[in-house]
C-alpha cells in the first residue's frame, strides 16, 4: 500500500495555484489510517515519552492515535479562545497577518518528553510556534512527526535548523 495514493489532492484550494493535500481520504481508509499511525509511532517505539502534542485540527486525530499507541498523554494545541481553562499562548506570522496558538497552563510539566504531531509540514510556522509554546512550559521536544512534507516550502528544514528531529511519511513536490 502506498500512503500517497490515499491522499486526495484538491487543485486551487484555498486559492489559485495551491494544491491542497487532503488527508480525510486517508483517514476514511482503515488500512491507510492504521499504517499512518503505525509509521508515525515507529521512530519512538521503546522510548519513554510523556506526551504527544497535536495541532488543531487534523493533528488531534493523528496525535490522539499516536499518544494511545505510545501510552502517552495528549496535549491539544488550539487556536486562540478555544480552550476552556487558563492558557499559555504564542503569536506567530502567517503569509498575511498573524495567528495565535494556545495550550492549557497545566498541559505539560517541566522536563516532560513530548512529540509534536500534525498532518502536514509546509513552511513550518505553526509547528515552530507549537514548539516554542511547549518549550516555554519546560517540555523537552523529542521530535516532530508529520504524514505529509511539502519540501519546497522548507518547513521540515526550518525545524531541523531549530534542533528538532523531524520524521515524515510522504512528500509532495510543489505547494
**Which is the catalytic residue, given 58, 78, 102, 112?**
58
d(CA 41, CA 98): 32
- Cβ neighbours of residue 14 under 8 Å, at least 6 residues apart? 20
Q: Would you give the DSSP letter of residue 173?
A: S
**Which is the catalytic residue, given 4, 78, 95, 140?**
95
- Give yes or no: 102 in active site: no
Q: Check: CB of residue 118 under 8 Å from CB of residue 58.
A: yes
CA distances from 10 to 20, 23, 42, 61, 168 (A): 5, 11, 29, 21, 21
- Give yes or no: 58 in active site: yes
Q: Check: CB of residue 136 under 8 Å from CB of residue 166.
A: no
Active site residues: 58, 95
Amino acid at each position: 500500500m502506498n500512503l500517497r495514493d490515499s491522499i486526495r489532492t484538491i487543485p486551487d484550494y484555498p486559492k489559485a495555484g495551491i494544491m491542497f493535500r487532503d488527508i480525510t481520504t486517508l483517514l476514511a481508509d482503515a488500512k491507510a489510517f492504521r499504517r499512518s499511525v503505525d509509521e508515525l509511532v515507529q521512530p519512538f517505539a521503546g522510548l519513554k515519552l510523556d506526551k504527544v502534542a497535536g495541532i488543531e485540527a487534523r493533528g488531534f486525530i493523528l496525535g490522539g492515535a499516536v499518544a494511545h499507541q505510545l501510552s502517552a498523554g495528549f496535549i491539544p494545541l488550539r487556536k486562540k479562545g478555544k480552550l476552556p481553562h487558563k492558557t499559555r499562548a504564542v503569536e506567530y506570522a502567517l503569509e498575511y497577518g498573524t495567528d495565535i496558538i494556545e495550550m492549557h497552563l497545566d498541559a505539560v510539566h517541566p522536563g516532560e518528553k513530548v512529540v509534536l504531531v500534525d498532518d502536514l509540514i509546509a513552511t513550518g510556522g505553526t509547528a515552530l510556534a507549537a514548539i516554542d509554546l511547549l518549550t516555554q512550559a519546560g517540555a523537552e521536544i523529542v521530535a516532530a512527526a508529520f504524514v505529509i512534507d511539502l519540501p519546497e516550502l522548507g518547513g521540515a528544514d526550518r525545524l531541523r535548523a531549530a534542533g528538532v528531529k523531524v520524521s515524515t511519511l510522504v512528500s509532495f513536490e510543489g505547494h
